[in-house]
Structure 1
Amino acid sequence: MPALDMPLDQLKEYRGRNPRPADFDEYWERALAELKATDPQVELVPSEFQSPQADCFDLYFTGVRGARIHAKYIRPKNVQEPHPAVVQFHGYSGSAGDWSDKLAFAALGYSVLSMDARGQGGKSEDVGGVKGNTLNGHIIRGLDDHPDNLLFRHIFLDTAQLAGIALGLPEVDPSRVYAAGGSQGGALTIACAALEPRISKLAPVFPFLCDYKRVWEMDLAKDAYQELRDHFRRFDPTHEREEEVFTRLGYIDLQYLADRIQGEVLMFVGLMDSVCPPSTQFAAYNKITAKKDLVVYPDFGHEGLPGSSDKTMQFFMRD
Structure 2
Amino acid sequence: MPLTFDMPLEELQSYRGSGPVPADFHKFWDASIKESRNHDARAEIASAGFSSSAADCFHLYLRGVSGGRHHAKLLRPKNGGDGSALLFFHGYSMESSDWVDYLPFVMEGKTVAALDCPGQGGESEDVLRGKGSTLQGHIVRGVEDAMAGDPRALYYVNLFLNSGVFADAVGALEGVDQGRISASGWSQGGALTLAAAAVRPEIQRAAAVYPFLCDYRRVWEIDLARDAYEGIHDYFRHRDPLHSREEEFFTALGYIDLQNFASRIKADTLMFTGLTDTICPPSGQFAVFNRIESPKEHCIYPDFAHENLPGARDRIFSFLCGYES
- Decide: shared fold, TM above 0.5: yes
TM-score (norm 1): 0.97
Deviations 1:221-249 (A, max 9, x none): 01101110000000000000111100100
State the partner residue of 2:308. 304
Task: Please name the residue that 2:184 is paired with.
Answer: 180
> 1-side partners of 2:178 and 2:151: how far apart?
33
Matched, 1:128 2:128: yes
TM-fit CA distance, 1:190: 0.3
1:63 aligns with 64
Aligned residue pair count = 318
Matches within 5 A, 1:221-260: 221-260=225-264
SS at match of 1:70: strand
Contact kept in structure 1, 2:105 and 2:321, CA below 8 Å:
no
Aligned partner letter, 2:309: L
The SS at the match of 1:105 is: helix
> Which blocks of at least 5 consecutive residues in structure 1 are unaligned?
none
2:297 alignment partner AA: D
1:296 maps to amino acid: I
8 Å CA contact 2:66, 2:128 repeated in 1: no
CA RMSD of aligned residues (A): 1.2
1:49 aligned onto 2:50: yes
Kept after mapping to 1: 8 A contact 2:55/2:76: yes
Structure 2 residue 212 is the aligned partner of structure 1 residue 200: no
In the alignment, the residues of structure 2 paired with residue 220 and residue 132 of structure 1 have an alpha-carbon distance, to the nearest angstrom, of: 22
Aligned to 1:265: 269
- 1:286 matched to which residue of 2? 290
Q: Is the 8 A contact 2:92 2:187 kept in 1?
A: yes
Q: Is 1:98 aligned with 2:70?
A: no
- Distance in 2 of aligned mates of 1:316 and 1:292: 13
Offset, 1:170: 2.2
* Kept after mapping to 1: 8 A contact 2:73/2:113: yes
- 2:89 is aligned with 1:85: no
Partner SS for 1:172: coil
> Is 188-197 or 162-171 further displaced after alignment?
162-171
Quick one: which amino acid aligns to residue 153 of structure 2?
A: N
CA contact (8 A) 2:95 2:117 kept: yes
Secondary structure, counterpart of 1:289 in structure 2: coil
- One-letter amino acid of the structure 2 residue matched with residue 52 of structure 1: S
Match of 2:138? 138
- 4+ residue segments displaced more than 3 Å: none
Q: Alpha-carbon deviation of 1:133?
A: 2.0
Any idea what the Cα deviations from partners look like across 1:54-99, whole Å, max 9, x if unmatched?
A: 000000011111111110001111144x422110000011101211
Asked whether the 8 Å contact 1:35–1:63 carries over to 2, the reply is no
Instruction: Assess, with a 3 A threshold, how the Cα gap between structure 1 residues 117 and 219 changes in structure 2: closer, same or farther.
Output: same
How much does 1:279 deviate?
Answer: 0.5
Q: Following the alignment from structure 2 to structure 1, what is the Cα–Cα distance between the partners of residues 179 and 317?
A: 17
User: Where does residue 21 of structure 1 map in the other structure?
Assistant: 22
Q: Which runs of 5+ in 2 are unaligned?
A: none
In 2, Cα distance between the equivalents of 1:58 and 1:258?
Answer: 31
Please tell me whether residue 168 in structure 1 is matched to residue 172 in structure 2: yes
Identity %: 50
Identify the range of structure 1 (90-99 vs 125-134) with the bigger mean alpha-carbon deviation.
125-134
1:34 is aligned to 2:39: no
